[in-house]
Amino acid sequence: MCLILTIIAALVCSICYTAKLAARKNADKAMLTVTMMFWSAALMFAFVGFSDKISGGEFLELTVKDAFLGSVVIIAGIFMYFFLKMRNKR
């Protein structure tokens, strides 16, 4: 579940960043950083899924614990985005 949630968050951030670039506005470095963080987390969770599958487990775990982990990653990304935006304002 954390893989699914982080991929959704990465796609949303990628679309927002690309739309801002297409509108020829200033590049949002905070959004780019958070987008890369989400894609990195999704890649990490995919590797964990592959290693679980090789060892005989499931690729995707659809548990509450796994959904909580995905939610924590998304919340941390949102906090990081606002922290970077506030730091760049100074």
Q: DSSP per residue over 19-85, as a string? A: HHHHTTPPP-HHHHHHHHHHHHHHHHHHHHHHHHHHTTS-SS---HHHHHHHHHHHHHHHHHHHHHH
Q: Which pLDDT band, with edges at 50, 70 and 90, does 41 fall under? A: very high
> Does residue 90 register a pLDDT over 90?
no
Domain borders along the chain are 2-89
Q: What is the pLDDT of residues 45-75, one digit of tens each?
A: 999 999 999 999 889 888 999 999 999 999 9
pTM of the prediction?
0.88
Q: What is the pLDDT of residues 9-31, one digit of tens each?
A: 999 999 999 988 888 777 788 99
